[in-house]
Chains A and B, each alone.
Chain A
Amino acid sequence: MRLINRKPGRATALMLGLLPFLALIIVYTIASQARLAENPSDRLLPSLQSMANAMEKMAFEPDRRNGELLLWKDTFASLARIGAGLGISTLLALLIGLAMGTLPYGKAALAPFVGAFSLIPPITILPILFIILGLGEAAKIGLIVVGTVACMIPYITQAAFDIPREMIIKAETLGASSWQIVTRVIVPGVLPTVVMALRIGLIPAWIFLVSAEAIASTEGLGYRIFLVRRYMAMDIILPYVAWITLLAFIMDYLLRVFSRVAFRWKHLEGDSL
């Protein structure tokens, strides 16, 4: 049989999926052992054991200076920022997307501005945000909003455009007002895409969260990584990166599950990510 027609079974697929992860760990372990054999105090590639020890300290031993559990404190601070940032940008993107996707006047008024705004590199806004909003939470949340809203708007606008004209006309013949058409036909049709846009927004959200925390913060996952970088504490940096990745994965997974439960009708039609 041709290679393009051969399909792995479930167990084989799972094994194949795990293989690259395993390979990475093995390669790392070998490299780490080789370096440590030459210089036991090498900091660049710490052993898995020393990473586990460092993380145990971060997670379960109160900090000597302020008596806090740093990993959880950092995690909570970062999640609060990313949650607030994404919440605001989702709401904004929904409002702007609906205005552009349903009202010809809204599109005429907003499309050029949104197009121009989305071309601004968000990180260049950060100094402006720090100057206007100070170094507190508002600036960091603001950066996440600026960094994600522009990429979410087009998805939601397009989803509103994609609602068949027939349905909107039908609603008109059933006596619906513009407001009723938006709330009962367009919003329900667009909401699954909002969740999709949120999942896409997660990627830039983490980038800008870590960037903002690296520059001005006293807690947070990004802050910690850039803080311990000064001591080349790879035994903390590497597990932190893995932890951030895991958090991002869990958030994406939860959104996917939420979409399936909340928009059951959407997933009856066929395959989707």
Chain B
Amino acid sequence: MSTDAIISVDSVFKNYGDARILERVNLDVARGTFCTIVGASGCGKSTFLRMLLSQEHPSRGNILLEGRPLPPEPTPDRGIVFQRYSVFPHLTVAENLVLASEFEAAPFTGRLFGSQRREALAETEALLDRIGLSHAANRYAVQLSGGMQQRLAIAQALVKKPSILLLDEPFGALDPGIKLDMHELLLGLWEEFGMTVFMVTHDIHEAFKLGTRLLVFDKVRHDLQAPEAYGATITYDLPLSEPEKRSDRLRDEIAGTIHVPKTALSSGFQTPNPHEERS
């Protein structure tokens, strides 16, 4: 196990009752890595991400965060963006971003008032501008389009400056064009904040484009009589530098193993949303 790893996964197993989801997962991830995770549906890649978040816990094995056991519950050092429900619908865009400071500054009320509140709101302006939502600062989060909500969700997850950002199919419900904007935003923020990213995606192109390291989850053992007897593990662990990123052959090979389409963006069937606002 390398000492400079921010995340070390040591022979982790995960079972739900009799069904084994993951088995013998071993992994060391260096600080600053952009790790993309792909796999067939139900292969346990989201389960793996939830374990990194401490939303779920390994049945066997250990996960170390900077050499220490992972805390038993979600903490601010690991930010999260889900595909849906990541932002708080009853708060405005600006309030969503101020919330973390309010939690920290006001243990009992969880709210800031008066000049403190104005200060906190002023501090979020740069971030609002960065995600192109300044004009929507006072709109409720429910009023935003899908792409805008996800931009807000990413910004909100970065407020606490987490060392690890976890993304669970964050762009799975977005139109292809919006997705490209989101890729740009995410890569920019990743460089700016220098965090380690784990991103689960269905989109093999997205995985190759964004990642510096690609993990593929798949089952290596099959039992036709008992399909749930064996779990998935990491079958490919590829560093993605320029030559690999441009290799169609490699991409198609992996697309084949996890049963996703080789060509085009996978969620292109959705009709574009005319109300989507791009920055």
Residues of A in contact with B (beta carbons under 8 Å apart): 164, 166-167, 169-177, 179-180, 183-185, 188-189, 263-266, 268-269
Indicate which residue in A166, A175, A179, A185 contacts B86 across the interface (CB closer than 8 Å): A166
CA distance A189 to B75 in the complex (A): 22
Known contacts A164-B84, A184-B99, A173 near B75 by CB under 8 Å: yes
Indicate which residue in A167, A176, A269 contacts B142 across the interface (CB closer than 8 Å): A269
Do B76 and A175 have beta carbons less than 8 Å apart?
yes
Do B88 and A185 have beta carbons less than 8 Å apart?
yes
Do B100 and A174 have beta carbons less than 8 Å apart?
yes
Q: Point out the residues of chain B lying under 8 angstroms from A183, CB to CB.
A: 109-110
Decide if B80 is an interface residue (CB 8 Å cutoff). Answer: yes
CA distance A183 to B106 in the complex (A): 12
20 A-B pairs within 8 Å (CB atoms) are namely A167-B85, A169-B80, A169-B82, A170-B82, A170-B153, A173-B74, A173-B79, A173-B160, A174-B99, A174-B100, A174-B160, A175-B75, A175-B104, A175-B160, A176-B103, A177-B103, A184-B99, A184-B111, A268-B140, A268-B143
Q: How many of chain B's residues touch chain A, expressed as a range?
A: 35 or more
Do B156 and A170 have beta carbons less than 8 Å apart?
yes
Indicate which residue in A164, A177, A266 contacts B107 across the interface (CB closer than 8 Å): A177
Q: Is the interface of A mostly helix, strand, loop or mixed?
A: helix
Do A170 and B80 have beta carbons less than 8 Å apart?
yes
Residues of B in contact with A (beta carbons under 8 Å apart): 53, 55, 73-76, 78-80, 82, 84-91, 99-100, 102-104, 107-111, 140-143, 153, 156-157, 159-160, 162
Q: Tell me the minimal C-beta distance from B31 to chain A in angstroms.
A: 19
CA distance A217 to B181 in the complex (A): 70
**Other contacts beyond A170-B153, A172-B74, A173-B53: 14, CB < 8 A:** A164-B85, A166-B85, A170-B85, A170-B86, A173-B78, A173-B160, A174-B103, A175-B76, A175-B100, A176-B110, A184-B110, A265-B140, A265-B142, A268-B140
Q: Point out the residues of chain B lying under 8 angstroms from A167, CB to CB.
A: 85-86, 88
Known contacts A170-B80, A174-B76, A268 near B156 by CB under 8 Å: no
Q: Point out the residues of chain B lying under 8 angstroms from A188, CB to CB.
A: 90
